[in-house]
């Protein structure tokens, strides 16, 4: 049940206000319909989704110092705009999780860094909620894909049934990414997955400089 809470888009951690790059992708013509949305989501899954899965699973194990994991998240987020977004969401998630699952884990993270990167906060919240690293990775992957998919429905007016059919089709890919991230969490933080997307970084910077926008990122 706690996994469902963390993966729910209505969880009060601010995720619903972010498009994950889809808003700029739509504005630039990179995403125009269900076909190009699928390409975008698969690319985001293979980069942001996998990175987030590894970091969240590693944080859930409690084997590594918070500062080390946060530094690895920084190294995997070259865009200043995305760093700010990640920390903003991490701060909100940490605040909410501390109210839901109070305890030493989240209090320790808050003392170490009150604005951790979102995947680090998600992993800590998962552990505090009694979840396993694989479940933390699954929540990270789910959030990385479903947030942009939901934003695309609002931005393009795509049939939501078609979008959810696409998400169901991507189920095995999301599960593979979660397992890969969870397996990587057994090693040192420096060896966590680190694929990147220059296009997502550019979209984030363009969005941050845009005067007209519906989403925070």
Q: How many Å apart are CA 214 and CA 112, to the nearest integer?
A: 33
Residue whose tokens read 């969240």: 56
Do the domain assignments include residue 12?
no
Read off the tokens for 186.
Answer: 């057994």
Q: What is the pTM of this model?
A: 0.94
Residue pair 53/140 in contact (Cβ under 8 Å)? The answer is yes
Do the domain assignments include residue 75?
yes
Q: What pLDDT, in 10s, does the model give residues 1-30?
A: 787 778 777 777 666 778 889 999 999 999
CA distances for 188 relative to 48, 64, 119, 177, 180, angstroms: 19, 8, 16, 18, 15
Q: 84: burial class by Cβ within 10 Å (0-12, 13-18, 19+)?
A: middle
Do the domain assignments include residue 11?
no
Q: What pLDDT, in 10s, does the model give residues 125-183?
A: 999 999 999 999 999 999 999 999 999 999 999 999 999 999 999 999 999 999 999 99
Name, in order, each residue with C-beta under 8 angstroms of 141's C-beta and a sequence gap of 6 or more.
Answer: 45, 49, 50, 52, 53, 174, 177, 178, 181
Do the domain assignments include residue 123?
yes
Name, in order, each residue with C-beta under 8 angstroms of 75's C-beta and a sequence gap of 6 or more.
Answer: 194
Rg, C-alpha atoms of the chain: 16
Residue-number span of the structural domain to which 51 is assigned: 2-6+17-209
Query: Which CATH number is 191's domain given?
Result: 1.10.4190.10
User: Alpha helices, DSSP H only, in 8-159?
Assistant: 22-27, 34-44, 50-61, 66-75, 80-100, 104-112, 118-128, 133-156
Do the domain assignments include residue 217?
no
Query: What is the count of structural domains for the chain?
Result: 1
Do the domain assignments include residue 194?
yes
Do the domain assignments include residue 216?
no
Q: What pLDDT, in 10s, does the model give residues 170-196?
A: 999 999 999 999 999 989 999 999 998
Do the domain assignments include residue 97?
yes
């Amino acid at each position: 049940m706690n996994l469902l809470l963390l993966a729910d888009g209505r969880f009060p951690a601010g995720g619903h206000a972010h498009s994950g790059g889809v808003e700029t992708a739509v504005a630039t013509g990179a995403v125009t319909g269900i076909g190009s949305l699928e390409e975008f989501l698969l690319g985001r899954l293979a980069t942001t989704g996998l990175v987030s899965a590894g970091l969240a699973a590693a944080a859930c194990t409690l084997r590594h110092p918070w500062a080390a994991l946060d530094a690895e998240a920084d190294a995997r987020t070259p865009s200043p705009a995305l760093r700010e977004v990640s920390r903003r969401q991490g701060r909100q998630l940490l605040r909410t999780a501390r109210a839901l699952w109070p305890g030493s884990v989240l209090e320790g993270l808050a003392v170490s860094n009150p604005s951790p990167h979102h995947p680090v906060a998600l992993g800590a919240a998962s552990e505090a909620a009694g979840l396993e690293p694989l479940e933390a990775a699954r929540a990270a992957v789910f959030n990385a894909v479903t947030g942009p998919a939901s934003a695309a429905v609002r931005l393009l007016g795509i049939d939501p049934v078609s979008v959810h059919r696409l998400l169901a089709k991507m189920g095995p890919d999301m599960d593979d990414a979660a397992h890969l991230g969870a397996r990587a969490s057994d090693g040192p933080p420096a060896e966590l997955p680190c694929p990147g997307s220059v296009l997502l970084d550019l979209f984030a910077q363009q969005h941050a400089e845009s005067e007209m926008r519906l989403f925070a990122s």
